[in-house]
Amino acid sequence: MPEIKLRTGPGVYEVLAYASGGTLEAFKQFVENAADAIQEHGRDDGVIHIELLREAGTGRRGRTRLKSIIVRDNGVGMSAQKMEKVAKSIGDSEKLQLALRGEKGIGILAFAVICERVHIASYAGEEEQGNCLVLVREWLRQERAEILDDCAAHRLPTQGTHVYLYDIRPEAAERLTKENIKKFLGREFSQDLINNSFGIQIRDGPRYEPVEPKRFRGVSIMRQPLRVDGDNAYVELYALPRAADDAHVSLLGRAGSRICHLAALDDFQHEPWQDRRLEGFVKYDKLRRTAGKTGVVEDKHYVALSAKLAEIEPEVKDKLASIGTEERQKELRDILTRVRELVSELAQRLALSQFTEALVEAAGTTQLAGETDPFDRAPGGRRRGRGRGRPTLAIGDRQPNGEKPLKRISTPQLVPTVPPEDKRGVRSWYDDIERIIYVNEEHPDFLEAREDQPRFARYLTHVWIKEAMLQQYATNSPRLSDEMVGVISQAEALFAKYF
């Protein structure tokens, strides 16, 4: 059981916390190592198996808790000599410095973000027995690891590597669900999966499920070859309607092998590559990864590709701006349609409530519930004369004379607009001739709510409620505010249906 001297040191946890990029990014290190081993082997039946193992009754409220994760591959495996070399390079100062500069790729050290200890068992097919590298989180400050020459618990019958992540940390377990892992790996390894470079299977129970490649979201804005030094690179880019934290453009090398995210490179620390609405990939067979798998070798091929990408930047920016405007207008139309459906149903509910009865009584008239519309007033605020002397009916009831059931209430349109000078300080106003509620699209509250769809839908609904209440209680502020609370409460119950 030889002991290995690491180069980690007392500050290793702080470095890991800064450089890991999060739990899923840390977990990707082991899947990426497995993918590299399969590609190095050159086999066409490569597969990575991920297994989540649980412990019953130890999680929150007695639910099962994620205890360990196994990542298996049928790649090239590691000999005893290679495993020792890998172990001795863990935490070397160069890699840690790269990590501190923001480059991902902390390698096997990523286990400490996920769990308390890891066993990496590997068999290269050249020896009678495999080897097992043991790392414990607490050992890192002591700068030690161990290699077991013959680990009875982790003997491999075939060539490949198995990674056993034991005692998953609670904060990591919350992120490492089967669905989260499938979604994340489907995105990160999309090109490999599309090209059938290898497969990824995952299970959190009796059956394995395939990790499907994530198809790019948004609208295609560029799919074209780029002529670089007599060879073809290829660019495929998509524009999202709004920024997404997981959007990125991947840089790919030969056969679509992963290198890094384009925006992580110093030469692309600007728009449009930093725009979180942009995703896709740039592929160039002549690119190579650095030895530490943290970036791209910046040779003449990389320089030539960078120059070509700089040429297309103005076009990408223009298309992003155009798609952004179109998508936001489409999104606005969709929200306005659903808000109109919501307030139509809300108006019907109000027509059948004590709220409406009070209005009718206050007006000294009896009219159809289906026609009790807070906006049903002639210009100047006088209620239009309809339904006098008739009993109140519910929506859908047949009328006494046998006529068809009452129809839905007609509600005014909500129309965002640039306000005239005398309306710049208000959020909305009602035009009782056109029967339109105009919404001030330059108001700070409108602009702030516009960035979040559910919040924006509530904002527009509340504007409608405000204008409805003003039609009924313009001269009775206490009653207006009291009824507004009740109507907003009823509207809130409808949001789950429409949004």
For 429-491, the DSSP string reads EEETTTTEEEEETTSHHHHHHTTSHHHHHHHHHHHHHHHHHHHHHTT-HHHHHHHHHHHHHHH
The dihedrals phi and psi of 406, each to the nearest 5 degrees, come to: -65, 145
Residue 71 near residue 110 (C-beta atoms within 8 A) = no
Residue 129 near residue 90 (C-beta atoms within 8 A) = no
For residue 450, the model assigns a pLDDT of 87
The angle subtended at Cα 274 by Cα 268 and Cα 275, nearest 5°, is 145
- Written as six digits, the tokens of 214 are 């994530």
The dihedrals phi and psi of 104, each to the nearest 5 degrees, come to: -75, 170
Q: What residues have CB less than 8 Å from 82, skipping those under 6 apart? A: 124
Q: Alpha carbon 339 to chain centroid distance?
A: 25
Phi-psi region of 9 (alpha: psi -120 to 50; beta: other; left: phi over 0): left
Residue 287 near residue 301 (C-beta atoms within 8 A) = yes
Strand partners, 210: 201
- Burial of 497 (C-beta count, 10 Å sphere; 0-12/13-18/19+): exposed
User: Is the link from the previous residue into 210 a cis peptide, with omega within 30 of 0?
Assistant: no
What single letter denotes the amino acid at residue 28?
K
For residue 223, the model assigns a pLDDT of 93
For residue 109, the model assigns a pLDDT of 81
Q: What residues have CB less than 8 Å from 263, skipping those under 6 apart? A: 248, 249, 269, 273, 274
Give the C-alpha separation, 158 to 388, whole Å: 89
Residue 184 near residue 28 (C-beta atoms within 8 A) = yes
Q: What spatial distance separates the first Cα and last Cα of the chain, rounded to whole Å?
A: 60
Q: Where do the structural domains in the chain lie, given as residue ranges?
A: 3-210, 219-324, 328-498
For residue 63, the model assigns a pLDDT of 66
Per-residue pLDDT of the chain (499 residues; tens, 9 = 90+): 466 666 555 555 555 554 556 899 889 989 999 998 998 898 889 999 999 999 876 555 556 899 999 999 999 999 888 888 887 776 554 444 444 333 444 678 889 889 999 999 999 887 667 789 998 988 887 778 888 877 777 878 889 999 999 999 999 999 999 999 999 999 888 888 888 889 999 999 999 999 998 888 888 999 999 999 889 999 999 998 778 888 889 999 877 777 888 998 999 999 999 999 999 999 999 998 886 566 899 999 999 999 999 999 999 999 998 887 877 888 889 999 999 899 888 888 776 444 444 433 433 333 333 334 555 544 444 444 443 333 433 434 444 455 444 344 457 889 999 999 999 999 999 998 888 999 999 999 999 998 888 999 999 999 999 988 888 888 888 888 898 898 999 899 899 888 8
For the chain, give the number of residues. 499
Give the C-alpha separation, 110 to 19, whole Å: 9
Which listed CATH number (3.60.15.10, 3.30.565.10, 1.20.1250.20, 1.10.10.10) goes with 3-210? 3.30.565.10
- Written as six digits, the tokens of 199 are 């497969």
Of 50, 10, 77, the residue nearest 203 (C-alpha): 50
3-state secondary structure of 240: coil
Q: What residues have CB less than 8 Å from 237, skipping those under 6 apart? A: 220, 221, 222, 223, 249, 278, 279, 280, 316
Give the C-alpha separation, 457 to 474, whole Å: 25
User: Can you spell out the DSSP letters for 250-303?
Assistant: EEE-GGG-EEEEGGGSGGG-STTTT-TTEEEEEE-TT--B-TTSSSB--SHHHH
User: What's the farthest any 2 CA atoms get from each other in the chain?
Assistant: 100
Beta strand pairing status for 131-136 and 115-123? antiparallel
